[in-house]
Amino acid sequence: MRVYPEGPTATGRIRWQRGAVPLRIYDGNVKPLAVYSAIRLGMFIVALALLLLMGFDWVWGAVFATVITFALSIIFLGSLRQKAADALRQRVEKPVPDTDTAHEDSQIAAAQRAANDDE
């Protein structure tokens, strides 16, 4: 049985509840971001290795490798960056509804209709 966080309590800690439905269901939109991040990390490692082989100090090598990787990613990875941004935007703007939320919403709507009918 999985255990999911229910939410923060008054003390600020997360209270765990057995059998609860997770807040978000994985929808597979992480792949573009993972690919983009992996390519950028690879570019950084290659740039850093080349700079260290050329005799740069590791601190300056890391700084220059960061700048080089940033510039190369702007030039060559534009479409991949856009796909990653679109995937993140879709995930943030369209949360995946779960059955529990839909059921609770229908119960709330029914209770509100019943309260309005009584008036």
Q: What is the pLDDT along the chain (119 residues), one digit of tens a residue?
A: 444 454 444 444 545 555 554 445 555 667 888 888 999 999 999 999 999 999 999 999 999 999 999 999 999 988 888 888 888 887 777 666 667 777 888 889 888 888 887 76
* Residue 50 lies inside a defined structural domain of this protein: yes
- Structurally, the chain folds into a number of domains equal to 1
Residue 55: left if φ>0, alpha if ψ -120 to 50, beta else—which one?
left
pTM summary value: 0.55
Radius of gyration of the chain (CA): 24
Tell whether 76 is covered by a domain.
yes
Residue 9 located in a structural domain: no
Within a domain: 12: no
Which pLDDT tens digit goes with each residue over 46-72?
999 999 999 999 999 999 999 999 999
59 within some domain = yes
- Is 86 inside a domain boundary? yes
Half-sphere exposure of 116 (CA within 13 A, CB side): 6
| CA separation for the pair 74, 82 (Å, rounded) | 11
Range of the domain at 68: 28-92
User: Is 51 among the domain residues?
Assistant: yes
